[in-house]
Chain A
Amino acid sequence: MLLRVQDLKAGYATGADVLKGVSLTVRASSVTGLIGANGAGKSTLLKAICGFLKRRGGTIEFDAADMGRFQPAHLAQNRIAYLMEGHSVFPGLTVEENLVLGTWSFRKDRARVRRAVERAFDLSSVLQTKRKIRAGLLSGGQQRILEMERLALNDPRLVILDEPSLGLAPKLVHDVFDRISQMKADGAGVLVVDQSARHVCAASEHLYVLRLGEIAIEGPASRFSDRIDELVRNFI
């Protein structure tokens, strides 16, 4: 098991837990979907896993090792990629500089840095044409592509995505989920939170529904695929 979260409790204000004991697992070479209404605690869960929020109880194991004192700066060296809520490109830096920074964890290996960056440009012709343009001048969709390619640069073993399709045109939503399948094919375990329940369900092997800080339903995604509307109506 790549990631195992057990009975996780976390929150912002003292005394009020947003997550009231959440357990979930992510396997390598698979996509795990997490859906839920606004305020259910999806982003909070991802933040707690990545060390941006202190947990108040429970355990988080990555590759069977405890992530207890995990700091965000440890993510990259453990090959964990995290697409945080909102936009995370560096707007004043060029597209190329943004990508080069994605190789920070192996920056001493210059040949590998060059290879990784060139591969990202090969994968995305949009980024190739905007190479020397400041990232802040890209459209929202192009920025999302840049973020996705940047986080894929160090061959992550675990990919944690917070709303990758938010605000994107339908065509781009497809592209994003295709890229997620590609990461899975490359061997990564992907944990994806997204508001488009249908896409998440179609892309995932396993699905969790989070409701008010607790897992309400879970199971193989194939079990939900024909009753996703019912699921959305009842829990989201």
Chain B
Amino acid sequence: MLTASVLIQLTIDGITRGAMYGLMGAGLALIFGILGVINMAHGELFMLGAYTMYFATIVLGIPAPIGLLISTGVMFVVGVAMERSLIAPLRARLGSRWLIDGYVLTIGIMVVLQNLALIVFGPREFGVAAFWPGRQELGDVVISNERLLILAGAVITTGTLAVFLKKTNLGRAIRATAEHPAAAQVLGINIERIYAITFGIGAALAGAIGSLLLSTYPAYPTVGGEVLLKAFVVVIIGGLGSVWGAMLAGPLLGLIEAYATAFAPGGWQNTITSLLVLAVLVLRPQGLFSRQVTRP
């Protein structure tokens, strides 16, 4: 039955889910825009964040919001360490010819992390039913508290990232490094440090989303695969390397999925999003939301 309340419900569902895709994509876009690496291990950062959240909240009994901060912080450190120990040496050795090597390197990291997780945690799923059980009813519209929590988390994370990139010195330096690394260096910006911090931020975003979505995607070794796929769809729709594009494309993808699940026959959901990706690649390969600025 299509009623206004069903439509509202679907819209809230879609935007919530989509905001998460958007943030995953934003991390991927940020890392690609600055380091030039297509981070195939992004889903595994999500996975590690989910495990960290599980152990912080369920095993250690830390309240969920603090657990979220802890897992975000841990993943930032993991990201910085990964960049310094694995990615930076490869970049230093190969100079500008390292796009494919970086891609292969992160595939390697992906496989290693998946199998480490399998050894350490086993194939078992670690999840929670809900951090905040119960639901809110506004007339006919019913929203679970968990969904509200995820939506709030997504809004706060997106807002923090946007303000950070737009208003802070470090955020400006990150954007400058993406656009013209040599000019940034000349102004005194230590771009090696920017690379490490950027990878850390991407990892922290993935970890935060893995934590927020623990009730939807329990932590298990290969949970990252599906999430990575969504992140790639978002990045293609939004424009490769465009953080804002990804953050807008995420909710769009979420809405399409939510409506497709409700109105199209089963199984069409993924077909419709794939068709959208095809259409974007053919008709507007720079992405739906990318701004083009030309250099004279």
Task: Give residues in A with beta carbon < 8 Å to B.
Answer: 50, 52, 71-73, 75-77, 81-82, 84, 87-93, 97, 100-102, 104-105, 107, 134, 136-137, 139-140, 143, 150-151, 167
Given contacts A134-B293, A136-B295, contact A93 B186 (CB under 8 A): no
B296 within 8 A of A: yes
A87-B295, A134-B293, A136-B294 known; A73 and B191 CB under 8 Å? yes
User: Looking at chain B's contact residues, is the secondary structure mostly helix, strand, loop, or mixed?
Assistant: helix
A-side contacts of B169, CB under 8 Å: 100, 104, 107
Q: Taking A93-B172, A93-B176 as contacts, is the C-beta distance between A76 and B296 under 8 angstroms?
A: no
**A137 CA to B187 CA, complexed, in Å:** 21
Q: Which of B82-90, B119-127, B177-185, B249-257 contacts A (4 or more CB under 8 A)?
A: B177-185
A136-B293 Cα distance, complex, nearest whole Å? 5
> Roughly how many angstroms separate A93 CA and B189 CA in the complex, as a whole number?
16
Which of B175, B185, B191, B294 touches A90 (beta carbons < 8 Å)? Answer: B175
Q: Is the CB of A72 within 8 A of B296?
A: no
| Complex Cα–Cα for A102 and B191 (A) | 15
Complex CA gap A102/B180 in Å reads 13
- Chain B contacts for A137, CB-based, 8 A: 293
Q: Does the CB pair B182–A88 fall under 8 Å? A: yes
A-B pair count, CB < 8 Å, reads 78
Chain B residues near A134 (CB, 8 Å)?
293
Rounded to whole angstroms, the CA-CA distance of A73 and B189 in the bound complex is: 6
15 A-B contacts (beta carbon < 8 Å): A72-B185, A75-B188, A81-B186, A89-B183, A90-B184, A91-B295, A93-B176, A101-B172, A101-B173, A104-B169, A104-B187, A105-B187, A105-B188, A137-B293, A151-B186
* Chain B, range 47-104, C-beta contacts under 8 Å to A: none
Within the complex, the shortest CB–CB distance from A128 to chain B, in Å, comes to: 20
Instruction: State which of A92, A102, A107, A143 has its C-beta within 8 Å of the C-beta of B179.
Output: A92
Q: Is B284 an interface residue (CB 8 A)?
A: no
Give per-residue flags for B240-259: 1 if the beta carbon is below 8 A from chain A beta carbons, else 0. 00000000000000000000
Q: Which residues of A contact B176 (CB under 8 A)?
A: 90, 93, 101
1/0 contact string of B265-296 vs chain A (CB within 8 Å): 00000000000000000000000000101111
Residues in B whose Cβ lies below 8 Å from that of A52: 182
What is the chain B residue whose CB lies nearest that of A97? B172
Let me know if B5 is at the binding interface, CB within 8 A: no
- B190 close to chain A: CB less than 8 A: yes
Q: Which residues of B contact A101 (CB under 8 A)?
A: 172-173, 176, 184, 187, 189
| A-chain residues with CB within 8 Å of residue B180 when the two chains form the complex | 88-90
Q: Is there contact, CB below 8 Å, between B186 and A82?
A: yes
Give the contacting residue for A75; candidates B179, B186, B293; CB below 8 A. Answer: B186
- Smallest CB separation, B189 vs chain A (Å): 6
A106 to chain B, nearest CB (A): 9
Select from chain A the residue with minimum beta-carbon distance to B181.
Answer: A72
CA gap between A117 and B258 in the complex, in Å: 48
Other CB < 8 Å A-B pairs besides A73-B188, A101-B187, 12 of them? A50-B186, A52-B182, A72-B186, A73-B189, A73-B190, A89-B183, A90-B175, A93-B179, A100-B169, A104-B187, A107-B169, A139-B296
B163 CB to nearest chain A CB (Å): 14
Q: How far is the CA of A50 from the CA of B186 in the complex (A)?
A: 9
Are the C-beta atoms of B186 and A143 separated by less than 8 Å?
no
Residues in A with CB closer than 8 Å to B294 are: 91, 136
User: Shortest Cβ distance from A231 into chain B, in angstroms?
Assistant: 31
Chain B residue numbers with a CB within 8 Å of A92 are 175, 179, 291, 293
Report the Cα distance A73→B291, complex, angstroms: 29
| Bound form: Cα–Cα A100–B189 in Å | 12
Bound-state CA distance A150–B184 (Å) is 12
Partner of B188, one of A76, A84, A89: A76
Q: Which of B110-128 contact A (CB under 8 A)?
A: none
The answer to whether B295 touches A76, judged by C-beta atoms less than 8 angstroms apart, is: no
Residues of the A chain whose Cβ atoms lie less than 8 Å from the Cβ of B185 = 71-73, 75
Distance, CA A143 to CA B176, complexed state (A): 15
A199 to B172, CA, bound (A): 36
Known: A93-B175, A136-B294, A143-B296. A84 touches B187 (CB 8 A): no
Contacts of A107 in B (CB 8 A): 169
